[in-house]
Structure 1
Amino acid sequence: MTSPVIQARSIGIRFRRNRGGRRLFKDLFSPSNRRSKPGEFWALRDLSFDVQPGEAIGVVGRNGQGKSTLLKLVAGVVLPDEGDVVVAEGVAPLIEITGGFVDDLTVRDNVYLTAGLHGMTRAQIDDRFDDIIAFAEIEDFVDTPYKHLSSGMKVRIAFSVISRLEEPIILVDEVLAVGDRGFKEKCYARIEELLDGGRTLFFVSHNEKDLRRFCSRGLYLDKGRLVLDGPIDDVLALYNTDYGV
């Protein structure tokens, strides 16, 4: 029996709702002069699950229920306040993928910088550079400062770089909500190619068609807690029943 690539045990992440501090505008102009009470809330609480190599998992729930926080936890961007999560393999995070690109650097320099930060060697980047640029369809902008690209072009080059990483776990968080339909389908075909190669997928989306396309298993989150872990069709059916979809 293979060992899980992700093991989560009673994980919880807590954030502050209000950091306090001075609220000068509200103090001066609010008729009631009321202050929000500082406090904390749990973005995730008491989550436990295992992920086996090669599984494709869709994370389901309304906005603000902890889905993106869960992906950031797996990516190592945030740490749990309770419980433990063990990620046995490296991750390719398609989460806020344009973050980390430097506006004043050229596209070429950003490709080398970003791929290098994710562990690719200079030789590996050299070998894949032309494919990265061709996939993003920005051959005419290689030596253009990144800040001059359109938002769609920025997403294309970022996706192209991250999807060329060799990490076994792929994290996808609605990053392709922008962009034209043709490129979105191209990216989805690339994700399917990675899955066919045995990669593990965590996929956050509100699009049921996409969830069913990629995922066999689902995690349904509500108020930061795990409502159901099961086949993706069962998870979507319960979610739709709960919210009258």
Structure 2
Amino acid sequence: MLKTSEQPRIIVNDVSKRFRLRTTQSLKELFIAWTKRKKLVDSFDALDSIDFVVGEGESVALMGYNGSGKSTLLKLISGVLRPDAGKVLTRGRVAGLIEVGAGFHPDLSGRENVYLNAAILGMSKAEIDARFDEIVEFSEIGEFIDTEVKHYSSGMFVRLAFAVAIHTELDILLVDEVLAVGDAPFRDKCKKKIRELVEQQKTMIVVSHDLPMLKALCTRGIVIKRGKAFFDGPIDEAIEALKASKR
């Protein structure tokens, strides 16, 4: 799918990921399973030999039904997980909205968490200072910015985390279902901001079950089925392939 004139931002080369699953939950179950010589640990192949390249400025929808491996793949691209086989390479600054609020420290205030999260995303203090007011205004946190985030609702978490990520000097944005959270006006504002990034030729991978939104934001779709690449092509065809993958 990569045009010869484009420089790759993301390379996923023959990537596989396996998780080990415990088949017992307690010491008693463990002992019984051991005496009966049953398997104590099982494995699950979340991804199997996935290959694709995303060019600079591409907006790609990562699609598939629950359990297909989409979120695992996004975590591999973000660096949260490492592949068991193959390589994941990224070029530029990556901002991930994958597990929103996961990087927040509960005992720190919203203000302190803005600086902490933005620093993790690679911003300098001067960059954060310059964008702080814009981040707070976008998040609609207002008077709660100096409150410890352990007192925040899940919606407040989402708004502040999204605002930080979306206002970084990013090259690659990874979004996993975060736009399904929050009230309708805030979701619309998020979609508008993401469209601005598309117009700025930022590279994006979006995971969502909102097909109209994916069609509006993305030009390409990659469909994952049971950990394998099922389809990679234009978004309209990808949506049809997604429906076919359920059969």
In 1, distance between residues paired with 2:124 and 2:114?
Answer: 12
Structure 2 counterpart of 1:8: 12
Q: State whether structure 2 residue 212 is matched by structure 1 residue 209.
A: yes
The match for 1:117 among 117, 120, 129 is 120
Q: Which residue of 1 aligns with 2:68?
A: 65
Q: Secondary structure at the match of 1:43?
A: strand
Partner Cα distance (1:235, 1:163) in 2: 26
Q: Which amino acid aligns with 1:81?
A: D
Residue number in structure 2 paired with 1:145: 148
What TM-score do you get using the length of structure 2 for normalisation? 0.91
Q: 2: CA distance between counterparts of 1:110 and 1:188?
A: 23
Q: Residue in 1 aligned with 2:89?
A: 86
CA–CA distance in structure 1, aligned partners of residues 183 and 27 of structure 2: 44
SS of equivalent residue, structure 1 residue 17: strand
Partner of 2:123, secondary structure, is coil
Distance 1:53 1:181 in 2: 30
Q: Tell me the SS of whatever aligns to 1:176.
A: helix
Q: Using a 3 Å threshold, how does the CA distance of structure 1 residues 22 and 160 change in structure 2: closer, same or farther?
A: closer
In the TM superposition, what whole-angstrom CA distance separates every residue of 1:158-191 from its partner, at most 9, and x where no partner exists? 1100111112110000012221000001011111
1:95 — aligned with what? 98
2:119 alignment partner, SS class: helix
Distance 1:195 1:22, change over 3 A: closer
Secondary structure at the counterpart of residue 39 of structure 1:
strand
Deviation at 1:235, TM superposition (A): 1.2
SS, match of residue 206 in structure 2: strand
Match of 1:193 in 2: 196
| Displacement of 1:242 | 3.5
Instruction: Give the match for residue 243 of structure 1.
Output: 246
Q: Report if aligned partners of 1:57, 1:219 keep a CA contact under 8 Å in 2.
A: yes
1:56 has 2:52 as partner: no
- CA separation of 1:22 and 1:71: change in aligned 2, threshold 3 A: closer
> SS at 2:178's partner residue?
coil
Q: Is contact 2:175–2:206 with CA below 8 Å preserved after alignment? A: yes
Structure 1, 2-11 or 124-133: larger mean CA deviation? 2-11
User: Per-residue displacement from partner, 1:101-146 (whole Å, max 9, x unpaired)?
Assistant: 1111111111111111211111111111111111111111121111
Contact 1:90/1:169, CA 8 A, preserved across alignment: yes
Deviations 1:48-87 (A, max 9, x none): 1111101110011111111001111111111111112221
Whether 1:221 aligns to 2:216 is no
Is contact 1:27–1:34 with CA below 8 Å preserved after alignment? no
Q: Does the CA-based 8 Å contact 1:103-1:146 persist in structure 2?
A: yes
Take 1:234 and 1:25, find their aligned partners in 2: how far apart are those partners? 51
Which residue of 2 is the match for residue 184 of structure 1?
A: 187
Compute the RMSD of aligned alpha carbons.
2.1
CA distance in 1, matches of 2:114, 2:10: 29
Task: Give, as a single letter, the amino acid of the residue that structure 2 aligns with 1:106.
Answer: S
